[in-house]
Amino acid sequence: MKLLFLLCLSLSSFGARTELVEVVREGVSKQANPVKAKNEILSSVSEKIALEKIEEILGKEKLNQNRSLIGSSVLSKKDRFMPILKGGVPVRIDGVTKMEVRVTYSPKDLLTILKNEGFFNQNEGPASVLPMFIVFDEVQSQSYKWWFGDDNLGAGFVKSQMRVLVSQLKKSLRDKGFYLLNPIKWRSSEWITETIRRDSYRRQDYMAIGEYLGAQVVIYGRVRFFKDKKQMNRNEVEYRLTAINTNNGRVVGEVIRKFPSEAGQFETVVAQAIKSTVEEIGNDLASQVLLAWQEGTLSGQRVRVSLIGKLSYQQVEQLKRELPVKIKGVQNLKERYFSNNKVTLEVECSVSPRELAKRLKNYEVAGLRLSSPDVSSEEVSLKVRKIR
């Protein structure tokens, strides 16, 4: 519980340390008026860069499927993740106006907006996967854990192998319809403060970190390099990886395999062993996660939603019709209890009870408003008030 408290404290204060990335592009406009040309170029270049970064996260197919929705719910808020937009001096050349544009954006804020707008929900598209496993070199006494960031001293070789592993996992998962978050590329270590950094975590901690970073699945465990005890001139690579659903902690994939390397210089032969086996491991794990998806294991959990207040039969029926359609994350709904001042519904949802409570708060239906949510691990209780 202490670690989860520290995690919440750390993440709530992260805003002041958001990393910004600058992108420089040249834009073109047919406008001859320099003021109009500048405004047009600033708008078009910033939107183009935003779409490129969104495509990196969601993938081209999901971007195209949700283009209009992304325009209204994400691009309309681009000032929240693009705080700095600067244009140079417009120059008229060969009938067009050209200008250099400097866009500064926050990867973390963009990811947060996409998550809050529901683009990582299982019932709307590919689930996102967060790797949280350790690469451990027993021979050279090195390990790499991305959440330690620059504190992974002397970890050049293991970090290079982590990049190989993440690259292949991303490909294997993409081929099965999932998206792998890249914590090295996005410097996600800056989101995990020193107070909550651990060599390994409890399952509920992986769930909490994964949920905050927008992942429905976390892969934890380790990839280990060590000397072959029977043949000392050879080494071995061991994979012990477990994939869990961040909503309910269920195991949705697991790989425990060991492979020998050829004889030779340690780093060279270990790198070759990983290169020759990582595709098999990645495909195996991705196939298991896909099977869990198809069987509904990733569809989340069943949560009781209790509505406290007077509701008529007609109002309850309208709620049952509307919630799965209008509230993201709600898939199936059954009535479990009905009295004059309380109705309990069982909801199958793809988000945590805490997130479900946020989405239900202030929801209006049939002249009623839901408010004052009370949340536990299995139930969300809300008060029902008439709209005046």
Q: What are phi and psi of 268, to 5 degrees?
A: -65, -50
Structure tokens at 209: 């970190």
Confidence of residue 322 (pLDDT cuts 50, 70, 90): confident
Tokens representing residue 128 in the block? 């996102």
Mean pLDDT, all residues of the chain: 83
Buried b (16+ CB within 10 A) or exposed e, 291-329: ebbeeebbbbbebbbbbbbebeeebbebbeeebbeebbb
Give pLDDT tens digits for 67-85.
888 888 889 989 999 999 9
Position 4 scores a pLDDT of 52
State residue 66's pLDDT score. Answer: 82
- With 90 as the cut, is the pLDDT of residue 388 above it? no
Q: Which two tokens stand for residue 243?
A: 């994939």
Residue 265, pLDDT > 90, answer yes
Residue range 169-189: mean pLDDT, rounded? 86
Q: What pTM does this model have?
A: 0.56
Dihedral angle, C-alpha 57, 59, 60, 65, nearest 10 °? -100
Q: Count CB-CB contacts under 10 A for residue 205.
A: 19
Question: What is the CATH code of the structural domain delimited by 122-297?
Answer: 3.40.50.10610
Cβ(258)–Cβ(236) below 8 Å: yes
DSSP letter at 189 equals G
- Strand arrangement of the beta sheet that strand 364-365 belongs to: 330-338, 342-349, 301-308, 379-386, 368-375, 364-365
Class of 300-386 per CATH? alpha beta
User: Residue 3: its pLDDT value, please?
Assistant: 54
Please give the structure tokens belonging to residue 24. Answer: 């420089």
